[in-house]
Amino acid sequence: MPEFHLPKCSSRNSGQRLIPKWKLAISIFFGALGIALLVLAVMYFGWLKMKKRTEPASSSKDDSSLNLSYGILLKATNGFSSSNLIGVGGLGSVYKGFLDENGTTIAAKVLNLTLHGAVKSFITECKALRNIRHRNLLKVLTVCSGTDYRGNEFKALIYEFMVNGSLEDWLHPSPSSANVDGNAHKLSLIQRINISIDVASALDYLHDHLQSPVIHCDLKPSNVLLDAEMVGHVGDFGLAKIVIDSTDDTKAKMSSAGVRGTVGYAAPEYGMESEVSREGDVYSYGILLLEMFTGVSPTNERFRENFNLHKFVKEALPEQPLEITDPFLLQEMESRMGTA
C-alpha cells in the first residue's frame, strides 16, 4: 500500500521458505528409522525371552529334563549296591546315586514290584507329586518305568538327594552314626522348632492351598528329609489320598479306598475304617511333635495295650515336664545356663 511508504519485500524470503521443508524431511527420516529400530529391538528381546523359556527343556543340566533308564540308574547306584543303600521302606529301597553327565546326586526309590501294592503306590505317588511344588516338600526329579536286563518290570522314583538324611536318623541315631568321640549328632531345640515349622508349612500347603487337597496319610520322622541347611522336606506320598469331592471342610471322599498308615502314627479312627481327613494328618503331626521333644518313639516297647506316647506325655503334664523332655535338650539347656 503506497500510502504507508513501506519497502518492497526482499526476494530472499522465498528462499528461506525451503529450510523448514528440509528439516521436516530429515525429521521424518530419522523418526521412521527410530521406529524401525524400536520394532527390531522388541522383536529381538521377544526372541531372547522365548529362547530362555525353551532352553531348560533341552538342557541336560536341568533336573526337570532328566530322562533316566534302568541302565543309567544301575550305573549311578553302582549296581544298586548295599554300600549305596540309604533307606529301606515297606515297598522298596532307596539308593544314593551319582549321574556322570551332570554331576547330580540323586536318591532313587526302587519299588519291589513283587510286593502287593507296590505298583499302586508308584502310581499314587506320581499322581500326588504331579502338580505340587513347595520348598518343604521333597522334590521329585523324574521317574523310571520300564524293564531291567532280565525283562522284569522296573519302576523307580528319582528324588533330590538330602545330604542330612531323615529326621528319624537324628532323633534315633544308630551307633554307626556316632562321631570319633562316640557321641551321636543330635538336634538342638532351635533346629527341632524350625523343622516342626517346616513340616507344618508343608501340611498347610497340601491341605489348604491346592485345588485338589492332598492327605499324606503316612507322616512320620523317616518321611521327613533334611537338606544341607537342615530344612525339613516331607516325602513319600505312596499312601497319599487326593480329595476329589468334599462334603464339608474336614471330611472328604478320596480317589482310592483303604488306608495303610504306620502303627503309632496313624489316627486311631483309621483302624475303624473311617474316611481319611485333614485331622488324620494333624494327629500324625502331633505324635511327630511329641517324639521330637521327648526323644521317645511311639513304637517304643514301653507302650503296650492302651498305654501310648500321647498318654505318656499327658500324665506328666503340667507338673513334670522335665521328666518327659529329651535328655539331650536338658543337657543343652544346662550348658547354655553354665556359659551365660
Q: Count Cβ atoms below 10 Å from residue 31 Cβ, excluding itself.
A: 10
CA distance 107 to 40: 47
Query: Closest Cα partner for 159 from 237, 216, 231, 215?
Result: 237
Whether 100 sits among the annotated catalytic residues: the reply is no
Q: Count Cβ atoms below 10 Å from residue 157 Cβ, excluding itself.
A: 27
CA distance 142 to 65: 8
- Strands 214-215 and 241-246 turn out to be antiparallel
Angle at CA of residue 208, ends 191 and 223, nearest 5°: 40
Question: Residue 268 is which amino acid?
Answer: P
Q: Count Cβ atoms below 10 Å from residue 209 Cβ, excluding itself.
A: 10
CA distance 80 to 283: 36
CA distance 86 to 320: 38
Active-site residue (options: 63, 181, 198, 218): 218
Instruction: Tell me if 280 sits within 8 A of 217, measured CB to CB.
Output: yes
Instruction: Tell me if 143 sits within 8 A of 124, measured CB to CB.
Output: no
- CA 166 vs. chain centroid, Å, equals 14
Catalytic residues: 218
